[in-house]
Amino acid sequence: MSEIVKKIELKKIHPSKLNPRLEINVGRLNELAASILEVGLLEPIIVRPVNDEYEVVVGERRYRASQQAGLEKVLVIVREYSDDEVAQLNLIENIQREELNAIEKGKVCKYLLENCPEKYPSRSAVAEKIGVSNNVVSLWLRAVEVVPQEAQKYVAPSTISGQVPEGKIDYLTAVKVGRSVEKPEKRVEVIKKLAEKRLPVKERSQIIKKIAREPEKPIEEVIDEVTEAPCELRFTADDKEPLLDGTKTQTSRINVPDPKVKVGAIVHAAIWEPHIADLRITSIERKKARYFDEEDAKREGGYTLEEFKKKWEETHGEWDENQLFYVIHFEKVK
């Protein structure tokens, strides 16, 4: 691919219409602008010629920061790109940097499928080209379908750490709202409220189910009912009698208690299965769901991979190929 490296007037460069980002982090943009003012633009912006001017292909944040820094000219690499090549480059670059949320990625995938059918005839073709699973592409596209435009800004980028910034919500919760809540305007309100509240996963799930069952009830009322409901403390079967006759008056736990467990609170005592076996932990690893294979599924209890995914979804929600989880290996002690 031929290319030209040269300095171009910033006013002759325009942002790409194919850039998938819904918003840009203002704080990081300010930091980059300050750096450009101090040391200049260290990495050229990649552009393509369009109607005697230029369009950003890769480096829109550098382009915007250069504007903010007041530069008149910037160093660019000029290359010829088709629309589908631009869309693909944007998606791959931002997936690698984990800066896009699932909806933004889904919009690029949708563009490639609808506008470049010869090169991208199916979801699997898109998935193979950008290096993710077909399942992940399907989830991204589903997010575009069910999360209303007005609510998309509340969906957080996907990161390895799994951390969700304040005022945002993870995309799986947003998709769950989109699938469960019928009216689009109510979906927006529910997603906004859940993003504001930063509630535990269990309570978010309960709220979504309750709103779906009682659509006429105000959202704030549903949230209050769920968040103010008593939590459960689980005990073994041996604890049942002493709990009921009042001789058991304390319990010791290793894990941090639920925030609802506080002085004066009423909690529900629930009985679970007693000790049934001794297990020796042999190893612990952390891996992404995409690397979970048939052998892993078999070790989980004799499942096939598809059976295990269904079981996982029943307990944890959507199977996300990029989800990180702990795999604890053990053996039964005779």
The domains located in the chain, with CATH, are 3-143 (3.90.1530.30), 147-228 (no CATH), 232-272 (no CATH), 279-332 (no CATH)
Pick from 69-78, 155-164, 237-246, 261-270 the range whose average pLDDT is largest.
69-78
Question: Which of the four pLDDT bands, split at 50, 70 and 90, describes residue 318?
Answer: confident
Closest CA to 329 of 277, 285, 275: 285
Residue 225 and residue 210 in contact, taking contact as beta carbons nearer than 8 Å: yes
CB 45 within 8 A of CB 107: no
CA-based torsion, 70, 72, 78, 83: positive or negative: positive
First vs last C-alpha separation in the chain: 65
Question: Phi and psi dihedrals of 215, rounded to 5?
Answer: -65, -25
Amino acid at 244: L
pLDDT confidence tier of residue 119, bands split at 50, 70 and 90? confident
pTM equals 0.57
Q: Which residue has the higher pLDDT, 210 or 24?
A: 210
Higher-confidence residue of 323 and 100: namely 323
Q: How far apart, in whole angstroms, are the C-alpha atoms of residue 217 and residue 180? A: 15
- Greater model confidence, 17 or 56: 56
Which residue, among 286, 281, 303, 285, has the nearest Cα to 294 in the 3D structure?
303
Distance from C-alpha of 239 to C-alpha of 71, rounded to nearest angstrom: 72
Q: What percent of the chain has pLDDT over 70?
A: 89
Q: How far apart are CA 47 and CA 79, in angstroms?
A: 6
**Of 312, 232, 294, which is closest to residue 267 (Cα–Cα)?**
232
pLDDT(231) > 90:
no
